[in-house]
Amino acid sequence: MTYIKIKFGSNFEDEFQKAVDEVFHLVRPAFKNYKCIWHPNIDVYESVEEVIVLADMAGLNKEEMHIEVDRKKVKIAGIRKAIQLLHNARYCQAEIPHGYFERNVALPAPVDVQSAVASYSDGILIVRMSKLPVNKTHRVSVISAK
């Protein structure tokens, strides 16, 4: 037996509408007209010198994206606004997600955080990061203690 989990929050009507919309989406995947946390598609590439992350971000402005990089992961987050083309129209099919999105991507190698550069063109976000040297050692000098 399949159960549908409904968690009531502070606004019962909104939570109920999301649950009903999810039921319709299960029956007919073409129906998905509600705000939800969605996950953009991501590609990760690795070369000898760098790691490159590509994200499919169609319909966003670069000001709506938030990118954080640490040595082992990249976080890409933001909000895609719903597109309203007509005021008195009803949806026949709704598949383009809108609302908050977030992706945390584990990197295949440690990267230099300061080298991260992001560019956005034609709906694709590209984040390039230089890899940290694997076998680089740092020599420590011994000083006299007084």
32 or 85, higher pLDDT: 85
Q: Residue 139 has what pLDDT?
A: 76
Contact indicator for 70, 132 with CB cutoff of 8 Å? no
Share of residues in the chain with pLDDT > 90 (%): 42
Is pLDDT above 60 for 31?
no
Alpha-carbon span 4 to 20, nearest angstrom = 10
> In the structure encoding, which two tokens stand for residue 27, read together?
């029956």
Q: pLDDT tens digits, residue range 61-92?
A: 888 899 999 999 999 999 888 777 777 777 77
> In the structure encoding, which two tokens stand for residue 121, read together?
């063109």
Pairs from 76-80 (Cβ < 8 Å, separation ≥ 24): 76/40, 76/42, 76/101, 76/102, 76/103, 76/105, 76/125, 76/127, 77/101, 77/102, 77/103, 80/38
